[in-house]
């Protein structure tokens, strides 16, 4: 009787070809199942990777989204013609963010610098400090050179002679402060007379006219005499210097200073926990910061058309310095991709763009540099607070462009000596520039005084400062972060070199000790006689027995 088999539920006569078909169908079924399982695994793997990416970069995505939503919200609210009071109410969430960030600056700067300086030995501290100062000075000088070169190439002030403060409806801003007094104030603020007052006040020179006598005609003669005054604003330079020296002093104390060092370390860690909480408010606060700034804008079209070349030159200088020069310097030292390093710092860059404050960006910068880029805490907490105070690459660029712009505006030809003065003064004065919005405008006045130009046109800079200051702050904090990365790399190389030297010394000691033991065994007649006696003892015992 002919055997029958089934294929897909149908009876078929048994044959060799039928058997082969059945085998193929049985083989195909597990292949299809395996493919389905692989597809499910791929889907699960993609889903898991997506979830991991979102959880890892959630804060970055929310922060960038906050800026974009803020722009749209500002455009919508701008058309509602709000009153001044309603504008201030609309800006309230953004104001709260700024207040939180400023609240945390003082404990963060002081504690991080004390613990950072105390955790490094004096030799390392001196070497790293020297490298940091050299890096800050060189990058700021390069930035000043880029600013001057772009100003002479683009010529933002040529043809803008008719432009003045009145045509744009701006209030005039002037500064009658002497250049010498500006630099003397910088030195005075390094050593505050009252540390408590330095937390909220800075020293500033003012002038009063004093009668000194009469001339031959009986006219009273007056002299301008400098007098010391206090201005609102934290004296960050004085606090930074005190915290560094205090940390070194604690380390020099040895065992007696350990408890206080532990206190500052614990205080610093607690401050970083507060920073991590504040960072989750940043996306919401940034949305209203950006939105309120767009609502407050006056006639943007008039400003951009009048000062468009100045804005373009400043932003182009920031792109060149921040996108090409600083990454090249980082690559030259570390031989690593600078853009992968910068990709971990999107949140502090966005914060810098929205707040226009290097000091307000410091908390999130320290956190992201340590967690995303693996920079040693001792390095980041030592160098970033100093960088936020003295390293102002972006400010140097726009200050140089502004000085040349005002010279061109007044049809003044700058000679080589004046150009050199601009470079040096911009580099030196940017050290003392306050890490706050519009802090660089004051230092432009110092540059203008140094080259003998009027300060009446400073209000033009102030009118567009809210645009230029955003890219300025991003470049400032980028320079700080890359500097921390370079110092971390140098510190790693030094520690590896030290470990290799220690290992080599230990190896030499071990080899010498082995060689000495062998030499003693080979040459000592006492040892040789004892070993021979011991070797002969068993035979003697056996013979006696």
Give the CATH number of the domain where residue 462 resides. 1.10.3860.10
Indicate if 203 and 333 belong to the same structural domain.
no
Q: Does the residue 295 lie in any domain?
A: yes
H or E element in which residue 121 lies: none
Give the pLDDT of residue 527.
Answer: 46
Indicate if 367 and 300 belong to the same structural domain.
yes
This prediction's pTM: 0.75
DSSP state letters, 285-351: HHHHHHHHHHHH---HHHHHHHHHHHHHHHHHHHHHIIIIIHHHHHHHHH-S-HHHHHHTTHHHHHH
Total domains in the fold of the chain: 2
Q: Does the residue 470 lie in any domain?
A: yes
Cα 415 to the center of its chain, rounded Å: 35
Give the pLDDT of residue 334.
Answer: 94
Indicate if 374 and 271 belong to the same structural domain.
yes
Which residues, given as ranges, of the chain have pLDDT below 50?
1-5, 7-9, 165-174, 435, 524-534, 537-545
Q: Does the residue 74 lie in any domain?
A: yes
H or E element in which residue 76 lies: helix 58-78
pLDDT (tens digit, 9 = 90+) per residue, 122-155? 777 888 888 998 999 999 999 999 999 999 999 8
Indicate if 228 and 87 belong to the same structural domain.
no
Q: Does the residue 533 lie in any domain?
A: no
Give the pLDDT of residue 153.
Answer: 94
Give the pLDDT of residue 415.
Answer: 87
Q: Does the residue 47 lie in any domain?
A: no
Find the domain containing 212 and state its range: 193-234
Q: Does the residue 23 lie in any domain?
A: no
Which residue, 274, 289, 436, is CA-closest to 361?
436
Give the pLDDT of residue 171.
Answer: 46
Report how far residue 102's alpha carbon sits from residue 437's, in angstroms, rounded to the nearest whole number: 12
Give the pLDDT of residue 105.
Answer: 85
pLDDT (tens digit, 9 = 90+) per residue, 2-37? 444 454 445 555 555 555 555 555 555 556 667 777
């Amino acid at each position: 009787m002919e055997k029958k088999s089934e294929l897909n539920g149908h009876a078929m006569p048994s044959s060799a070809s039928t058997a082969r078909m059945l085998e193929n169908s049985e083989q195909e079924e597990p292949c299809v199942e395996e493919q389905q399982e692989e597809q499910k695994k791929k889907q699960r793997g993609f889903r898991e990777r997506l979830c991991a990416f979102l959880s890892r970069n959630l804060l970055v995505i929310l922060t960038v989204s906050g800026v974009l939503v803020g722009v749209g919200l500002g455009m919508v609210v701008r058309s509602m013609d709000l009153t001044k009071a309603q504008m201030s109410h609309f800006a309230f969430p953004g104001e709260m963010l700024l207040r939180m960030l400023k609240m945390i600056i003082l404990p963060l700067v002081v504690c991080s610098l004390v613990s950072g300086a105390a955790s490094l030995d004096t030799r390392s501290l001196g070497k790293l400090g020297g490298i940091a100062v050299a890096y800050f000075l060189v990058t700021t000088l390069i930035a000043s050179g880029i600013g001057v070169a772009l100003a002479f190439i683009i010529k933002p002030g040529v043809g803008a002679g008719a432009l003045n403060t009145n045509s744009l409806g701006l209030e005039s801003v002037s500064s009658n402060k002497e250049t010498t007094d500006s630099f003397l104030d910088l030195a005075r603020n390094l050593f505050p007379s009252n540390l408590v007052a330095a937390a909220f006040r800075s020293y500033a020179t003012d002038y009063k006219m004093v009668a000194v006598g009469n001339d031959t005609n009986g006219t009273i003669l007056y002299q301008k005499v400098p007098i010391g005054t206090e201005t609102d604003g934290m004296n960050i330079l004085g606090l930074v210097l005190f915290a560094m020296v205090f940390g070194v002093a604690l380390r020099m104390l040895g065992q007696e200073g350990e408890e206080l060092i532990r206190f500052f370390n614990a205080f610093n860690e607690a401050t970083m926990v507060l920073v991590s909480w504040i960072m989750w408010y940043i996306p919401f606060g940034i949305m209203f910061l950006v939105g309120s700034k767009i609502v407050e804008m006056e006639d943007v079209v008039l400003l951009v058309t009048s000062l468009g070349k100045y804005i373009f030159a400043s932003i182009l200088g920031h792109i060149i310095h921040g996108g090409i020069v600083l990454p090249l310097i980082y690559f030259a030292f570390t031989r690593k991709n600078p853009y992968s390093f910068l990709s971990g710092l999107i949140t502090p860059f966005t914060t810098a763009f929205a707040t226009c404050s290097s000091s307000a960006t410091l908390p999130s910068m320290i956190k992201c540099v340590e967690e995303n880029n693996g920079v040693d805490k001792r390095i980041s907490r030592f160098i970033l607070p100093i960088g936020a105070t003295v390293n102002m690459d972006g400010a140097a660029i726009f200050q140089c462009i502004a000085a040349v712009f005002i010279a061109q505006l007044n049809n003044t030809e700058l000679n080589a000596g004046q150009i050199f003065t601009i470079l040096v003064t911009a580099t030196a004065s940017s050290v003392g520039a306050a890490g706050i919005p519009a802090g660089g405008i004051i230092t432009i006045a110092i540059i203008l005084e140094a080259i003998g130009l009027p300060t009446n046109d400073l209000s033009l800079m102030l009118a567009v400062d809210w645009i230029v200051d955003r890219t300025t702050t991003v470049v400032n904090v980028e320079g700080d972060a890359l500097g921390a990365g370079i110092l971390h790399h140098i510190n790693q190389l030094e520690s590896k070199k030290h470990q290799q030297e220690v290992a080599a010394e230990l190896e030499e000691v071990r080899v010498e000790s082995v060689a000495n033991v062998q030499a003693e065994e080979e040459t000592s007649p006492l040892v040789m006689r004892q070993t021979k006696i011991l070797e002969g003892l068993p035979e003697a015992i056996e013979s006696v027995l």
